[in-house]
Amino acid sequence: MKQRSEHSLYAEQSDIRAYRAFCREHGLDADDENSARAWKREMMERGYSCRTVNRRISTLRTAKTETGEIIFGFKNIPFEKIDKSIPVVLTDIEIDRIRSVIRLGSRKKYGGHSGFNFRDAMIFELFLHTGIRSEELTFLRVRDVDFISRMLHVTGKGQKNRRVPIPNDLYRQLEDWIDYCGTARMLDAPLFQSIHTTRGLRKMIDYYAKISGVQFTLHDLRRTYATRLLESGCNVRYIQILLGHESIETTQLYLGVNQKILADQVEKSSSDINAGWKADLKKHLEGLSPKLREKIVDVIKNFEE
């Protein structure tokens, strides 16, 4: 049985509470299909994304009592069609702008407290340079930063662990952050003690997206990380491992904005394989008689044609 994360369980209970509150406010029967349709209609009118609406419908479709009885009328409520838009990948100019507003904006938001300024900048850089998920960041402890191997130990979905390389600039920033917090000897301490939920992280990112004028989400930082790895020549399989994806198809969705680069990678990989095969063949042919070597070369030429 697949293990569900604490965040998933919290989101499900939150969706159920939101629907019950809607029904109480409007005097509706929560088990009535018309009530379910009215709730969906209100969410769409209030500007909820199709993904959020669909997640809530999915949650309410399977919500049951302790005896296993379906308690809400969502069985026949259709999902919204999701727009397959091009994913957001941040440019260097956009990243610099976000960094600038974090340095200035967090002081305004938190009353000039430089500690929050440092924290928000550190969180942004960590997302941008490791591609970890928001929930994974809330799990991080001081001990997860391995300064010897320069690796970040990440606990992902289903409690699966992986190791992500720490780039040099991020390595120095993490050292400064831990020194600033005074937690170098407190290995079990949270890496970010004031961040406990993914909701807090999303609110922080939404704030900086608003004041910077750069529309981005936490997931866009993860997608930017993956895309830049691809652009630098990293193999798609390695990117899959670094992101903690079970399926290569999921990784390819992240890289959909760079289909040409992906095609070039496949072509390069194929060329490398062919070059290696031909080099090995040449080595073996050197030990054969000229007549036999000539016959084998003719066969290969015919095959390639």
- Marked catalytic residue, from 133, 208, 223, 225: 133
3-class state of residue 155 by DSSP: strand
| Residues 291, 299 contacting (CB under 8 angstroms) | no
Cβ-contact 92, 76 below 8 angstroms: no
Q: Judge contact between 158 and 2, C-beta under 8 A.
A: yes
Does residue 222 have an active-site annotation?
yes
CB distance 101 to 212 below 8 Å: yes
> Could you confirm whether 133 is annotated as catalytic?
yes
Query: Which candidate, 224, 223, 230, 226, places its Cα nearest to that of 268?
Result: 230
How far, in Å, CA of 295 to CA of 297, rounded?
A: 5
Question: Which listed residue (19, 208, 225, 254) is catalytic?
Answer: 254
Could you identify the residue written with the tokens 């209030």?
46
- Catalytic-labelled residue, pool 40, 119, 129, 222: 222
* List 37, 219, 228, 293, catalytic entry: 219
219 as an active site residue: the answer is yes
Q: Is 284 among the residues known to form the active site?
A: no
Specify whether the CB–CB gap between 104 and 90 falls below 8 A. Answer: no
C-beta atoms surrounding 180 within 10 Å: 13
- Cβ 18 vs Cβ 25: under 8 Å: no
Query: 27 in helix, strand or coil?
Result: coil
Burial of 209 (0-12, 13-18, 19+ CB in 10 A): middle
CA 277 from chain centre, in angstroms, equals 37
Tell me which of 107, 157, 162, 228 is the catalytic residue: 157
Catalytic (active site) residue 207: no
- Residue 254 is a catalytic residue: yes
User: Rounded to an integer, what distance in angstroms lies between the CA atom of residue 91 and that of residue 102?
Assistant: 17
Query: Rounded distance, CA 295 to CA 298, Å?
Result: 5
Rounded-to-integer distance, Cα 116 and Cα 90, Å: 24
Which residue has tokens 């406990």? 196
- Residues annotated as catalytic (active site), given as ranges: 133, 157, 219, 222, 245, 254
